[in-house]
């Protein structure tokens, strides 16, 4: 089992393994046992897929179960109200523990509930998707969507620990697995650590979900994120680089009516950001071709028509990273991102037409 320690906000550990065999030991190490009242929160899809895991946890913990409908459309205050009601009805108190079992939606919602219920209680995160394992489960950002704007309501709240079992990834549908690869490509661009070359050389084994490949990617991405968030926990400066590809990506997610997954949208947004980087920071044009080739190998999209520019621009203009102008993370070269780069609507329009359009 691999371990990383995050020293930002309240320190916590990330445990990375193929399976959950050592989870009971980790629970004991973190002083979580049958004497503590626990509340496992998941979605209906994860519940059906992993009943065995949930039943095993029930036997070792004093645990109540709650699940909601799977999907991004559940990432709203209605779902949060349901969780609050469940906790109150089952006598959750300040000494209780929430357990998030699921992808990024589950982790973000449970983390937000933990940060606000009784002004803050403990939670642990057991992410089950590639996207949540390489990104959203770590960093302390929790929250929900409001009025069509992603993650606009939220806070920072660190878990007691994060436990990653890469065997969960074997149960993902193809589209959901590929979703996480879009975020991994982002990591390969913001840090020049050879990950882009690794993706290009090992794409077949990655798509076949070989254990060593999955462990390499998960640990590699989390080491990058650990370094960044420890420098800028509250996302006031360098942590913005983690938003590479996300400005356009969020707009594409919304205008596609969720037909594009988050990772697919980030991959497309990354291509647009690379075109903008060529225009504004003189990024060499060969990099676009290299990234496009990797995206093709990983079965990620490289083209997408924006049908509703009004809604698209609404989403971008209301992105929480922007103020009076559109701000982008761009690249001067791979591994050297530049934050808060101003982009005009005309530059954005031409970059989209010259890349994914």
pLDDT tens digits, one per residue of 269-301: 999 999 999 999 999 999 999 999 999 999 999
pLDDT over 70 for what percent of the chain?
98
pLDDT score at 33: 85
Confirm or deny that 166 is annotated as ligand binding.
no
Confirm or deny that 171 is annotated as ligand binding.
yes
Confirm or deny that 78 is annotated as ligand binding.
no
Confirm or deny that 263 is annotated as ligand binding.
no
pLDDT score at 322: 55
- The pTM score is 0.93
The alpha carbon dihedral of 28, 168, 239, 332 has a sign of positive
Q: Which long-range contacts (CB under 8 A, 24 or more apart) does 199-208 make?
A: 199/294, 199/297, 199/298, 200/290, 200/293, 200/294, 200/297, 203/294, 203/297, 203/298, 206/181, 206/298, 207/298, 207/299
CB 83 within 8 A of CB 69: no
* pLDDT tier for residue 258 given thresholds of 50, 70 and 90: confident
Is the pLDDT assigned to residue 321 strictly greater than 70?
no
pLDDT tens digits, 13-71: 999 999 999 999 999 999 998 889 999 999 999 999 999 999 999 988 999 999 999 99
pLDDT score at 282: 97
pLDDT score at 193: 75
Confirm or deny that 246 is annotated as ligand binding.
yes
* pLDDT tier for residue 195 given thresholds of 50, 70 and 90: very high
Confirm or deny that 327 is annotated as ligand binding.
no
- For the segment 161-183, the average pLDDT, to the nearest whole number, is 97
- Tokens representing residue 206 in the block: 């990655």
CB 192 within 8 A of CB 181: no
Mean pLDDT of the chain: 94
Confirm or deny that 148 is annotated as ligand binding.
no
Confirm or deny that 59 is annotated as ligand binding.
no
pLDDT score at 35: 87
Domain(s) labelled CATH 3.40.50.1970 in the chain stretch across: 2-171
- Tokens representing residue 44 in the block: 């209906």
Distance CA 38, CA 53 (A): 15
- For the segment 255-273, the average pLDDT, to the nearest whole number, is 93
pLDDT score at 319: 66
pLDDT tens digits, 89-133: 999 999 999 999 999 999 999 999 999 999 999 999 999 999 999
Is the pLDDT assigned to residue 327 strictly greater than 60?
yes
Domain 174-353 sits in CATH at: 1.20.1090.10
Domain 2-171 sits in CATH at: 3.40.50.1970
Confirm or deny that 183 is annotated as ligand binding.
yes
Confirm or deny that 25 is annotated as ligand binding.
no
CB 308 within 8 A of CB 259: no
Confirm or deny that 304 is annotated as ligand binding.
no
Confirm or deny that 129 is annotated as ligand binding.
yes
pLDDT score at 76: 97
Domain(s) labelled CATH 1.20.1090.10 in the chain stretch across: 174-353
């Amino acid at each position: 089992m691999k371990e990383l320690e995050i020293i930002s906000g309240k320190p916590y550990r990330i445990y990375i393994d193929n399976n959950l065999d050592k989870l009971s030991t980790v629970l004991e190490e973190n002083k979580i046992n049958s004497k503590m009242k626990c509340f496992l929160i998941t979605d209906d899809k994860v519940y059906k897929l992993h009943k065995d895991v949930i039943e095993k946890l029930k036997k070792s913990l004093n645990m109540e179960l709650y699940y909601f409908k799977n999907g991004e459309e559940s990432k709203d205050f209605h779902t949060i109200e349901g969780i609050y009601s469940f906790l109150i009805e089952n006598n959750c108190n300040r000494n209780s523990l929430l357990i998030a079992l699921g992808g990024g939606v589950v982790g973000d919602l449970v983390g937000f509930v933990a940060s606000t219920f009784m002004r803050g209680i403990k939670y642990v995160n057991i992410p089950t998707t590639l996207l949540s394992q390489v990104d959203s489960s770590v960093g302390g950002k929790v929250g929900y969507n409001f009025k069509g704007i992603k993650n606009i309501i939220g806070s920072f709240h660190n878990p007691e620990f994060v436990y990653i079992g890469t065997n969960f990834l074997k149960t993902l549908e193809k589209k959901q697995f590929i979703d996480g690869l879009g975020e991994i490509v982002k990591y390969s661009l913001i840090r020049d650590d050879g990950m882009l070359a690794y993706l290009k050389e090992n794409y077949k084994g990655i798509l076949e979900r070989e254990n060593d490949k999955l462990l390499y990617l998960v640990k590699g991405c989390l080491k990058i994120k650990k370094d960044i968030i420890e420098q800028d926990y509250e996302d006031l400066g360098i942590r913005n680089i983690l938003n590479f590809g996300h400005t356009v990506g969020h707009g594409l997610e919304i205008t596609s009516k969720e037909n594009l997954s988050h990772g697919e949208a980030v991959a497309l947004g990354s291509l647009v950001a690379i075109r903008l980087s060529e225009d504004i920071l003189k990024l060499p044009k060969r990099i676009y071709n290299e990234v496009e080739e990797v995206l093709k190998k990983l079965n990620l999209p490289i083209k997408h028509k924006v049908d509703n520019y009004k809604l698209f621009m609404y989403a971008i203009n209301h992105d929480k990273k922007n103020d009076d102008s559109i701000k982008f993370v761009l690249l001067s070269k791979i591994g050297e991102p530049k934050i808060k780069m101003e982009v005009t609507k005309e530059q954005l329009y031409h970059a989209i037409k010259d890349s994914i359009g």
